[in-house]
Structures are given as structure tokens and as C-alpha cells.
Amino acid sequence: MVLYIAIVIFIISPFFPATENPHWFFRTPDFIRLQSIVIQIALLVLFLIFESPLTVFSWVLLVALVGAIIYQIEKVFKYSSLYPREKPNFPSDGSVSILAGNVLQDNTQYDLLKAEIEQYDPDLVLTMESDKKWEEGLSEIENIYSHTVKIPLDNYYGMHLYSKIELINIEVNYHVEEDVPSIFFEYPLSEHQTIFFACLHPAPPSPTENETSKERDAELMIVGKKIRKLDKPVVVCGDMNDVVWSRTTRLFKKMTAMIDPRIGRGFFPTYHAGYWLMRFPLDHLFHTKDLFVKKMVRTKNFGSDHFAMYYEIHHKNGKKPKTKGNLNGDEEEEVEEKIEEGK
């Protein structure tokens, strides 16, 4: 009986996100797809071992469980290292590197993050959940990263940006929630070429924060609409508090014609750094197709509940940007609905 109940739960729950209910309870199965696939396969093996003889009900359960497994694998497979991809080896006319990480506000192991920064030597450093203590703890790196954007907050949504060179058109935005910032800026790749960056850390749907994903979804859609109006290379990065196979993230990528460098490289789960069995890919970078990521590395644990990510981003020589993907009427309406519901 217990085995039957567990099988029914793992047949039904993977389809909860398809209801598009924004409540955290219905969004959670999206986060745990990798773990639930493993559990489903284990349940399948146990069922085949202990269920004898197979009745009509047994066959119904068996077929439904296999179908749920296939459904989930189809969702995540392209982000595994088994998925075929073209090696990013294009002619480049300029590059920028960024190390981005959620530092965990209560974490005080500043030296461990500084060691990662020293090892990778990125052009840009982005920290999230950074408060005044983190600002002071990282002050030493300002000898090299002298151009900064500092938003020290003690609500777990502070953000700091450090750059070796001067940035252009810096904006600090509060698109949806008055205490959850984002940073927009342009990085001068050359005298005639800049890359637009949007650094985000929207609040997640959870029992302890936002009850629904409406606020997070709205921020992604607002940023997506801005990107569609741009005519330049674009990078979006940060702790998105969402998985890449979710409906909202897929819609964001489609509306902006952006791609995920994770495809074919691996899942790169960044949260939770302390529990390897419960890790999800929540920290992302998306870019327009005129860019490519030559190097992508997950850092060592530096005391946070997230790992940081290092990216080396190149501009394809002579390639023009495309920032407006093709949406049908229903999708355009969905974008507007998500923005309206999140405000």
C-alpha cells in the first residue's frame, strides 16, 4: 500500500507546474525534477520486484509511472552533458568575464570568496545577498575593482557589482518589489561595442518568502520586454530562484531569443552548496546569439548556501544581435498577464 501511494504521488506531482498555478506548492516539483526522476526510477524497480502477479491496476500504474519518467527526462535532458552541442569555438572580437554568486548574507567567510575572485580574475564580480558587512569584507578587492555599484541591504536582497573598468549607463531598478533591486549597465567591449547586462535576484516562491511566484515571474517578463527593444548584445545573469526548464524561464528565453550556455554542458546545480542530494540549478546566465560562453565553471564552496559561477563571454566577430524572439498571441498575452499579476 505504501509503495502504491508513493508511486501515485510521483506520477501526479511532476505535472503540478503544468497547471500554471503560481503557488509555491505547485511550483516546487519543477525545482526537484532531477531528484524526483531518481526516486521514480527507484519506485519502478521496487514495483517490478515486489508486484506479482501484475494485475490490470498494476499495469495502469506501471505505464503511468514510465510515462511520468519520460515526461521529466524530456524536460531536463537538453541541460545534461549527454545532449549534443556545438563546441563554442567561434572567431571572437572581444570578451568579458564575470564571477557571480549569492554570498549568503549571514556567511562571514569573506576570504574564501576573495580567494575565488583571485583565482579566476574576472572583469566583473557580482554578489547577491550582500549587506554592509559583506561590503566591508570585500573592500580589499576595490584596489583592483575600482568601479562599483553598491546596494547594501540587510533583507537578503543586497547586491554589489565590482568592475575593473568604468561602466556605462548604470541603473538600479526596483521593478516589482520596493526592497528587491536589480542592476542594469553596459560594459564597453571596445570603442564601438558595448554589452548590456541585467543582474537579477528576484524573490522565490516559498513558504518563508513570497507565497507565489508572481513577483519573480513579473520581474523576468519586465526585463524581457526591455531586452526586446534593444539592438545590442545582452547578458542576463544572477540568482533567478528558478530552474531553466520552468515555463516562465522558457518563455523569457523565447521572448528575448536568448540562449542558455548550460545546454549540453551539464546541470551546474548551484543550490544548496551544503547538501549534494538536494541541489538545484538556480543561478543562471542567458545571452544573445551574437555572444558565446567559452568557459563556464562552478566555483568551490565559500561558505554560502550557493556556489558562485564564473563565465568567460565572447562576442562573435561580425555577428549582429537579435533580442526579439517570436511570440504568438497567447504568449504575448501571457507576458502581460504575468506582469500585471506580479505588481
Read off the pLDDT of residues 283-323 as tens digits, 9 standing for 90 and up: 999 999 999 999 999 999 999 999 999 999 999 988 889 99
Domain boundaries, the chain: 2-79, 92-340
Query: For residue 87, is pLDDT > 80?
Result: no
Residue 89 has pLDDT above 90, yes or no: no
Average pLDDT for 159-183: 97
The proportion of the chain whose per-residue pLDDT surpasses 70, expressed as a percent, equals 100
pTM of the model: 0.93
**Architecture of the domain defined by 92-340:** 4-Layer Sandwich (3.60)
Cis peptide before 205 (omega within 30 of 0): no
Q: Which residues on neighbouring strands pair with residue 97, listed in sequence order?
A: 312
Per-residue pLDDT tens for 249-264? 999 999 999 999 999 9
- Which residue spans within 63-166 are E strands per DSSP? 92-102, 124-128, 147-151, 159-163
**What pLDDT is stored for residue 253 in this prediction?**
96
Tell whether the model's pLDDT for residue 25 goes beyond 90.
yes
> Tens digit of pLDDT for each residue in 110-141?
999 999 999 999 999 999 999 999 999 999 99
- The Cα–Cα gap between 96 and 286 comes to 14
Contact residues for 255 (Cβ-Cβ < 8 A; gap 6+): 221, 224, 225, 228, 324, 325, 327, 331, 335
Q: Is 307 helix (H, G, I), strand (E, B) or coil?
A: coil
